[in-house]
Amino acid sequence: MAITRRDLLLFGGGSVVALPFTPIPYKLLDDVSIWTQNFPWLPVPKPGEITQVATTCTLCAAGCGLKVRRVDTRPIGIAPAADHPVSHGALCPLAFGAHQLAWHPRRIRTCRLNGAEAEPSVIAAKVAAAISTGAKFAILDERPGRAVSSLYRQAATLAGGLYLAPEAAEEATLAAIRRLLPATAPALGFDITNARTVLSFGAPVLDGWGVPGEMLTRWKSGEATFIHAGSRYSHTARLAHRWLPVLPGSEGALALGLARVLVDEGLAAQAAGLDHFKTLLDEMPMNRVAEITGLKPGEIASVARELHAGGPAVAIGGGELAGPLGEEVETAIAALNVLLGAVGREGGIVARGPLAADTPDLAPVTTLNQAAAGSIGVLLIEAATAGAAQPWKAIASRLAPEALVVVMSPYQTGYAAFAQAQVATPAFLEALEEAPTAPGAARHSYALAPTVLDAPETAIAPAAFLALVAGEAGWTSLAEASTETAIKARAAAIHAAKRGSVFAIEDASETPVSGIESADALYDKLAAGAVWVDAAPATPPLKPALPGATGDDRQRLLAAAATPVAPAAGDFAVVAIPAAWTGNAPAGTRVPLAGKLDQESHLRALPGEAMIHPATARRLNIKAGARLLVESEQAKCPVTVRLSDAVMQGVVEVSPGATDTLDLFATAHGSALRAVRVRLGRA
Amino acid sequence: MTATTPANPANPPVQQNRKTRRFGMVINLDACTGCGACMMSCAVENNCAPAKDKITDRTGITLMRVFPVNDRQPMPARRSGFVPMPCMQCEHPPCESVCPQQAVELDKLSGIVDQMPQRCFGCRYCIAACPYHARYFNWSDPEWPAGMEQTLNPAVAPRMRGVVEKCDFCHGRLHLAEDQAALEGNDDYTYTPACVEACPTQAIVFGDLNDEESEVTRLAKDPNSFRFLAKLGTEPKVYYHSEHEWRRNLAERTANGSTPAAEGRNS
């Protein structure tokens, strides 16, 4: 049979038609799919033995208990420690990606001086040489209260310099209350576990504030009412049982308004100085309070009555991460606590009891605005992973011209960008670290985070670097300093006091300190990831005096509370407030996976975004997605606009993305404010 | 003639007579704080890579995603909340029937809708078919900063560009639990997905919906529990729970004009 051209065409055409009905193309697709799954650039995780290490999170000051899941020696995940007495089995989202921080893209593995690699000893010699020329030395400790902090204070003492520590936002109201108490009064804390009503003045109490696990446990229990007074529709405002949308910068007026209702209706607790304080309140009539805060007088009155009826109630100031309220406003909130009878009461503000006493010859703890402007010649900064955020402008205003700034940090972020020298320190999990009492906590605690990963050989612990400086400067008492020695001394002090108990994460067991045979045994337990928690102290009688004893005091307080930040009608300025949370705190380092929460979803604002109400945007002729320049008295900062009708009109919420974003809120006096007037221009 | 295999006590026939489970979840919307811990722990457990610069909320991989929602009331009277949204693990999964590659399969033993990226060739029919927007396409290869690949979970293979992925109730953890049960010679096991473990307020309850005694079954049967888009008949195994009517109304968001809204980037 002859095969014709037509036969060939028929066969070819038939084959093409039949091919999709055979397995051949699908097999090919399958094979290609499988082959492409095995491209060499896709990492293949190595299997191994799975183990867990109990430790403590040191990303922020809360000190939550956690378990690091490892395959062989590699950390592959983090889980919360159930029943942990500090964190109550809760962790913030960032903790879950914290084990990846050692490989952060901005990790510093070698020390650098003026942009070039340098040995730590060279940088230490430069610091010592600068000190020897008479330059004023200061050390900024981003995580005060640790055993290693005592080494910093010793160094400041030996150099005749300053030990600077930022005041934690959680402690701002407590500090104001301490100013109303005798100087011998003990340290204070919020007894959230027993509080029935919590009033927060902008403080993000349900979004990473203090120890998140404690707050959330109380919130979920339904046994406490949360009232949030703030200008931002934040996570805390959403979750609170009641939200009071006050105008920016009016928190002080609200506190005085609430105090006035308590006094006028005879609901106030008796306190010294009530007569003077009434004089102050007389100058703050309710219609004026309503005008400043934007709330109705009846609404303010009902909150005051709710606080009185729902006792024990506690009022918490302390700003969002980037926005402190200011000393006078905190004083007004402290006075409200006094009138609520919260000071010295279970469920209110309680004494923590003394811990190991400081050595008397240590340098006192100083805040940045207490340092003279332009005075610091050598500044050594220990930038803890997610320490309190301070605007760089505020720090820079305290520096002398040509000052030497050295940052000890594992990352080239935050303050490291402004320093001449960067000392590469171990990252999270790479060295023994401490978690002292969380700011605002009712009871003392102390935990250690043991070493889980090997640090780079070129990294040096802050205490070891300080020892190098001490060696160069001839401070013999510090030349042998080490983190371990300092921690052992702290453990010995806790053991000697024989108070409280130690909780072991691994088996959830609790051992009284009095049952631990030696200080070394206590140290060994802590170094294995356990946490010491103090016994609940018997609250001593606290007798605070209300502020406003002198005319000057009253005028200062009134001036801070009664001055609205809002621009005048017709002014094209707007008020900026920070939309900060721990995930975009500029002083810290973002966990690499944090983008899941903002960049890859709508859950949080992206760093560097500014949110404006559509009506404000229309008034200022701004469109969504526009690049703008936000300009305050102290700084300019580029932002990307996002529209949201949840933002107050006339307000721009700035999500921090870099340290210079915070400069918007800096004052000329080395501090910062929560709400500032700004102008918006084209970037 | 049928050959019979003599019973060997040392090597029990694991695949035969295995207990059938229907793993499911009940998410308490009243307890969700929108913190995102579930999203982060999910990303770590499932080896999701950090976002590259150009990745957005539309192109990112969030196998568990928390959506902010509200009741559409004007401010400041607005009520808001958060809805964590994993794959609903439907009993009748639309994604399974549309997949030309059989890359999606309902596992009858666990009730989990499995996604097999090795078979997927990226047509994305399943993404179009999923009424819950719970599927994600890998628009690019995953990349980790140098050295960070050491932190990957060996129980989960990273996925390459061009394939679809979704929540599989932490299948790696299920396998570990199954292996452990096989070692111990019993079939009585359960496990905890990463998001359940991470939730700081224990808002997510996980378990076997076939077990009448389990907490998850009890909660699923609660009158205040509901499922999203139940009218479609996909029979999701993820239930939600709320004491508040406006949150329960989220379930049928197209029912009328006054239903709650999901908050967008520019809402």
CATH number of the domain at A253, please: 3.40.228.10
- Give the Cα separation of A283 and A256 in Å (integer): 10
What percentage of chain A exceeds 70 in pLDDT? Answer: 94
Q: How many domains does chain B have?
A: 1
Show the CA angle centred on residue A346, arms to residues A340 and A350, nearest 5°.
85
| Residue labelled with tokens 């890859």 | A600
Q: How many domains does chain A have?
A: 5
**A614, A641: one domain:** yes
Q: Of A596, A598, A653, which to mutate for an interface test with B (greatest number of B Cβ within 10 Å)? A: A596
Task: State which of A497, A513, A546 marks the end of a domain.
Answer: A497
What does the pLDDT read at residue A320?
Answer: 59
CATH number of the domain at A148, please: 3.40.50.740
**A9, A136: one domain:** no
Q: Which residue range forms the structural domain that includes residue B28?
A: 23-257
Q: Is B60 a member of any domain?
A: yes
- Give the Cα separation of A586 and A635 in Å (integer): 16
What would the mean pLDDT of A635-641 be, rounded to a whole number?
Answer: 90
**A301, A383: one domain:** no
What would the mean pLDDT of A366-371 be, rounded to a whole number?
Answer: 85
- In tens, the pLDDT along A160-177 reads 999 999 888 888 999 999
- A640 membership: H or E segment, kind and range: strand A636-643
Q: Is B1 a member of any domain?
A: no
The three state secondary structure string of A369-386 is HHCCCCCEEEEEEECCCC
- Give the Cα separation of A315 and A258 in Å (integer): 11
Residue A528, classed as helix, strand or coil, is coil
- Give the Cα separation of A498 and B15 in Å (integer): 57
Q: Decide: residue A601, CB within 10 A, 0-12 exposed, 13-18 middle, 19+ buried.
A: buried
What does the pLDDT read at residue B3?
Answer: 42
- Taking one residue from A and the other from B, the number of pairs with CB-CB distance under 8 angstroms is 204
Instruction: Please indicate if any CB of chain A lies within 8 Å of the CB of B80.
Output: yes
- Cβ distance of A216 and B57 shorter than 8 Å: no
Report the mean per-residue pLDDT for chain B: 89
**Most confident listed range (A238-247, A272-281, B183-192):** A238-247
**A613, A466: one domain:** no
pLDDT of A279 strictly over 50: yes
What does the pLDDT read at residue A481?
Answer: 81
pLDDT of A293 strictly over 90: yes
Contact list, A36 vs chain B (CB under 8 Å): 160, 162
Contact list, A46 vs chain B (CB under 8 Å): 154
What does the pLDDT read at residue B1?
Answer: 38
Amino acid at A239: L
Q: Is B51 a member of any domain?
A: yes
**A116, A99: one domain:** no
What does the pLDDT read at residue A409?
Answer: 92
CATH number of the domain at B58, please: 3.30.70.20
What does the pLDDT read at residue A158?
Answer: 93
What would the mean pLDDT of A344-350 be, rounded to a whole number?
Answer: 92
**A330, A181: one domain:** yes
Sheet containing B261-262: which strands, arranged edge to edge? B80-85, B65-70, B261-262
Q: Is B265 a member of any domain?
A: no
What does the pLDDT read at residue A41?
Answer: 79
The three state secondary structure string of A127-154 is HHHHHHCCCCEEEEECCCCCHHHHHHHH
Which range is least confidently modeled, A222-226, A554-558, B15-19? Answer: B15-19
Is the alpha carbon torsion for B85, B87, B88, B94 positive or negative?
positive
Tell me which chain B residue has its CA closest to the CA of residue A218. Answer: B201
**If pLDDT is split at 50, 70 and 90, which confidence band does A634 have?**
confident
B 171-190 residues with CB < 8 A to A? none
- Cβ distance of A93 and B35 shorter than 8 Å: yes
B 218-257 residues with CB < 8 A to A? none
Q: Which residue range forms the structural domain that includes residue A76?
A: 51-103
Report the gap between the CA of B237 and the closest CA in chain A (Å). Answer: 24
Q: Structure tokens of B145?
A: 């900063």
Cα B104 to Cα A578, B87, B130: the distances in Å are 45, 13, 12
CATH number of the domain at A59, please: 2.20.25.90
Contact list, B154 vs chain A (CB under 8 Å): 45-48, 71, 76
- In tens, the pLDDT along B234-251 reads 999 999 999 999 999 988
What percentage of chain A exceeds 90 in pLDDT? Answer: 63
| Residue labelled with tokens 């060295």 | A431
Instruction: Please indicate if any CB of chain A lies within 8 Å of the CB of B75.
Output: yes
What does the pLDDT read at residue A565?
Answer: 72
What would the mean pLDDT of A450-454 be, rounded to a whole number?
Answer: 94
pLDDT of A464 strictly over 60: yes
CB A252 within 8 A of CB A315: no
Q: What string of DSSP letters covers A451-513?
A: --SPPPTT---HHHHHHHHHHHHT-GGGTT--HHHHHHHHHHHHHHHT-SEEEETTTTEEEEG
Which range is least confidently modeled, A583-587, B35-39, B102-106, B263-267? Answer: B263-267
Q: Is A339 a member of any domain?
A: yes
- In tens, the pLDDT along A82-96 reads 999 999 999 999 999
- The count of other CB atoms within 10 Å of the CB of residue A126 is 20
Q: Is A298 a member of any domain?
A: yes
Cα B20 to Cα A593, B16, B176: the distances in Å are 36, 11, 17
Amino acid at A259: A
Contact list, B157 vs chain A (CB under 8 Å): 37, 44-45
Report the gap between the CA of B235 and the closest CA in chain A (Å). Answer: 26
- The count of other CB atoms within 10 Å of the CB of residue B45 is 26
- Give the Cα separation of A514 and A428 in Å (integer): 31
- Give the Cα separation of B210 and B216 in Å (integer): 10
Q: Which of A41, A75, A235 sits opposite B34 (nearest CB)?
A: A235
Instruction: Please indicate if any CB of chain A lies within 8 Å of the CB of B76.
Output: yes
Phi, psi at residue B11, to the nearest 5°?
-140, 75
What does the pLDDT read at residue A37?
Answer: 63
What does the pLDDT read at residue A321?
Answer: 60
Task: State which of A448, A472, A497 marks the end of a domain.
Answer: A497
pLDDT of B6 strictly over 50: no
- In tens, the pLDDT along A194-245 reads 999 999 998 999 998 888 999 999 999 999 999 999 999 999 999 999 999 9
Q: Is B209 a member of any domain?
A: yes
Q: Is B33 a member of any domain?
A: yes
Can you give the pTM of this predicted structure? 0.91
What would the mean pLDDT of A64-69 be, rounded to a whole number?
Answer: 96
What does the pLDDT read at residue B78?
Answer: 92
Q: Is A152 a member of any domain?
A: yes
- In tens, the pLDDT along B39-51 reads 999 999 999 999 9
Q: Is B240 a member of any domain?
A: yes
Contact list, B71 vs chain A (CB under 8 Å): none
CB B77 within 8 A of CB B88: no
pLDDT of B256 strictly over 60: no
pLDDT of A579 strictly over 90: no
What does the pLDDT read at residue A568?
Answer: 60
Q: Structure tokens of B132?
A: 């819950």
**A304, A398: one domain:** no
Q: Of B28, B29, B30, B35, which to mutate for an interface test with A (greatest number of A Cβ within 10 Å)? A: B35
**If pLDDT is split at 50, 70 and 90, which confidence band does A659 have?**
low
Q: Which of A30, A36, A208 sits opposite B160 (nearest CB)?
A: A36
Report the mean per-residue pLDDT for chain A: 89
What would the mean pLDDT of B4-29 be, rounded to a whole number?
Answer: 70
What does the pLDDT read at residue B4?
Answer: 43
Q: Is A474 a member of any domain?
A: yes
CA atoms within 13 A on the CB side of B182: 13
**A176, A286: one domain:** yes
More reliable by pLDDT, A576 or B86: B86
**A374, A492: one domain:** yes
**Interface confidence (ipTM) of the complex:** 0.90
**A616, A676: one domain:** yes
What does the pLDDT read at residue A152?
Answer: 94
**If pLDDT is split at 50, 70 and 90, which confidence band does B267 have?**
very low
- Cβ distance of A603 and B68 shorter than 8 Å: yes
What does the pLDDT read at residue A468?
Answer: 96
CATH number of the domain at A677, please: 2.40.40.20
Is the alpha carbon torsion for A420, A425, A428, A433 positive or negative?
negative
Q: Is A486 a member of any domain?
A: yes
**A571, A480: one domain:** no
**A76, A216: one domain:** no
Report the gap between the CA of A99 and the closest CA in chain B (Å). Answer: 8
Is the alpha carbon torsion for A329, A330, A335, A340 positive or negative?
positive
Contact list, A642 vs chain B (CB under 8 Å): 265-266
What would the mean pLDDT of B78-107 be, rounded to a whole number?
Answer: 95
What would the mean pLDDT of A256-268 be, rounded to a whole number?
Answer: 95
Report the gap between the CA of B230 and the closest CA in chain A (Å). Answer: 25
Nearest to A123 by CA among A396, A419, A414, A423: A423
pLDDT of A545 strictly over 80: yes
Task: State which of A103, A121, A140 marks the end of a domain.
Answer: A103
Q: Is B217 a member of any domain?
A: yes
- Give the Cα separation of A103 and B30 in Å (integer): 37
Cα B229 to Cα A105, A657, B88, B97, B240: the distances in Å are 42, 38, 11, 18, 12
